[in-house]
């Protein structure tokens, strides 16, 4: 059996260090807003290449809090629109509508599955204030054209970086690269256990170079309070536990190494999968480095392929079977048409990829996929 993601195996590599820091937190008697969180925020900001990082409870809250802070900063107000890819994970969209903002769906590119930047401009209206780019499956979504649109329409850009920690954008082959999380005005990270950098529970973070935004995000996540029992905003309770910060400090040291291992697995798939009915993910390798949170193929008879693989002991998943505008949660949007998004949702299949899947498993999986014929 090849499991989709073996978290036990991933965390086993760090078990000694994790147990050590857990016992330090237990013994310290200090469980929130302490020195482990501060240390993680410093480390994450340095790793990302930004001035500020703020630890929060999860990735959804990171997204929500950035937009909420922008409302408090006067950059937008309820009823304004935020452009978001139509094929993203639901959290991106919840963060927008939860703030009383309107999600404006734009189709993805069929090859990269990232927001189709050439379709943004035609969607912009008087009420559009921001673009949410999602570095989906671990691939950077950014381009000079996107920067031009931002300038021309004076828009904010929020990065949903939940799947792409450590990915880098390189504007030209000889220029310095910029990490995802440092490209837009602010970025949200998720440390959900299955993400490339996974906590042992929920955690998330916001990164930004805007000092005021960072300070308001921090305040909003702490009951809107700067001074205990004085509340400046109607805030939330969204803080990163000291124990999760301690775990993440251990695992952040290894994230680049882990991402390299994922790249090797992806390279094996790219070279090994030759089945003509399968569309491999297309990458913009020249200008960005992918961190392969997911390895997503397409097949016209996806459900059959998934069933066949499962019968041969290969566990796969679908990211995502139902696009946001087709969810019951957004039933008032169900008449909108996004043919590219819908095709993607019908054909995608995610193969196992991680830092612990071994060469033999990848080889056997590649053979299984190649031997499948309709």
- 208 CB-near residues (< 8 Å, 6+ apart): 50, 51, 52, 66, 185, 186, 187, 214, 217
Kindly give the pairing relationship between strand 156-160 and strand 186-190: parallel
> Which residues contact ligand PLP by CB under 6 A?
58-60, 88-89, 91-92, 134, 160, 162-163, 190, 192, 202, 204
58/213 with CB nearer ligand PLP: 58
Separate counts of helices (H) and strands (E) for the chain: 12, 14
For the bound state, the minimum distance from the C-beta of residue 59 to ligand PLP, rounded and expressed in Å, comes to 2
Specify the residue, 25 or 141, whose C-beta has the smaller distance to ligand PLP.
141
In the three-class reduction of DSSP (H, G, I as helix; E, B as strand; rest coil), residue 101 is classed as coil
Please say whether the beta carbons of 47 and 194 come within 8 A: no
For 191-206, the three-class secondary structure string (H helix, E strand, C coil) is CCCCCCCCCCCCCEEE
Closer of 58 and 366 to ligand PLP (Cβ): 58
- Joined together, the tokens standing for residue 42 give 């410093």
Smallest gap from Cβ 366 to ligand PLP, in A, equals 26
- Residue closest to ligand PLP (Cβ): 59
Q: Are the C-beta atoms of residues 139 and 284 closer than 8 Å to each other?
A: yes
What's the maximum distance between 2 C-alpha atoms anywhere in the chain?
65
The least CB distance from residue 232 to ligand PLP, in Å, is 25
Give the helix/strand (H/E) hosting 288. strand 288-289
Nearer to ligand PLP, 59 or 221 (CB): 59
Please, are residues 209 and 52 in contact by the beta-carbon 8 Å criterion?
yes
> Which lies closer to ligand PLP via its Cβ, residue 238 or residue 366?
238
Kindly state the smallest distance separating residue 126's Cβ from ligand PLP, in Å.
28
Toward ligand PLP, which CB reaches closer, 137 or 369? 137
Between 59 and 352, whose beta carbon lies closer to ligand PLP? 59
Give, in degrees to the nearest 5, the angle at Cα 50 between 45 and 54.
50
Compute the distance between CA of residue 257 and CA of residue 81 in angstroms, rounded to an integer.
Answer: 39
Tell me the two tokens of residue 367: 């053979």
Nearer to ligand PLP, 55 or 204 (CB): 204
Q: Are strands 230-231 and 225-227 parallel, antiparallel or unpaired?
A: antiparallel
Query: In angstroms, what is the minimal distance from the CB of 96 to ligand PLP?
Result: 12
Q: Which residues pair with 300 in a beta bridge?
A: none
Q: How far is the CB of 229 from ligand PLP (least distance, A)?
A: 29
């Amino acid at each position: 059996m090849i499991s989709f993601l073996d978290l036990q195996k991933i965390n086993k590599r760090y078990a000694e260090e994790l147990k050590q820091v857990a016992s330090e937190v237990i013994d310290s008697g200090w469980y929130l807003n302490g020195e482990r969180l501060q240390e993680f925020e410093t480390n994450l900001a340095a790793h990302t290449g930004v001035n500020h990082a703020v630890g929060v409870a999860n990735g959804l809250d990171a997204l929500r809090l950035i937009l909420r802070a922008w409302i408090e900063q006067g950059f937008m107000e309820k009823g304004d629109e935020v452009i978001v890819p139509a094929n993203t994970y639901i959290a991106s969209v919840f963060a927008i509508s939860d703030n009383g903002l309107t999600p404006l769906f734009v189709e993805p590119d069929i090859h990269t599955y990232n927001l189709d930047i050439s379709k943004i401009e035609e969607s912009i209206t008087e009420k559009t204030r921001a673009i949410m780019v999602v570095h989906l499956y671990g691939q950077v979504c950014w381009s000079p054209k996107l920067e031009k649109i931002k300038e021309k329409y004076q828009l904010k850009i929020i990065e949903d970086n939940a799947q792409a920690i450590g990915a880098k954008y390189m504007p030209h082959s000889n220029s310095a690269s910029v990490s995802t999380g440092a490209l837009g005005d602010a970025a949200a990270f998720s440390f959900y256990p299955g993400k490339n950098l996974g906590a042992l529970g929920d955690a998330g973070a916001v990164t930004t170079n805007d000092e005021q935004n960072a300070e308001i995000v921090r305040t909003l996540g702490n009951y809107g309070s700067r001074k205990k029992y004085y509340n400046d905003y109607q805030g939330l309770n969204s803080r990163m536990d000291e124990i999760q910060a301690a775990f993440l400090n251990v695992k952040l040291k290894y994230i680049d190494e882990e991402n390299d291992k994922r790249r090797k697995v992806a390279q094996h798939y790219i070279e090994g999968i030759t089945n003509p009915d399968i569309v491999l993910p297309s990458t913009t390798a020249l200008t960005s480095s992918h961190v392969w949170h997911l390895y997503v193929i397409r097949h016209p008879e996806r459900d059959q392929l998934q069933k066949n693989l499962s019968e041969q002991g290969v566990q796969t998943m679908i990211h995502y079977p139902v696009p946001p505008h087709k969810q019951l949660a957004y039933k008032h949007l169900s008449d909108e048409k996004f043919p590219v998004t819908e095709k993607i949702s019908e054909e995608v299949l995610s193969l196992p990829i991680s830092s612990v899947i071994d060469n033999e498993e990848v080889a056997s999986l590649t053979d299984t996929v190649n031997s499948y014929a309709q």
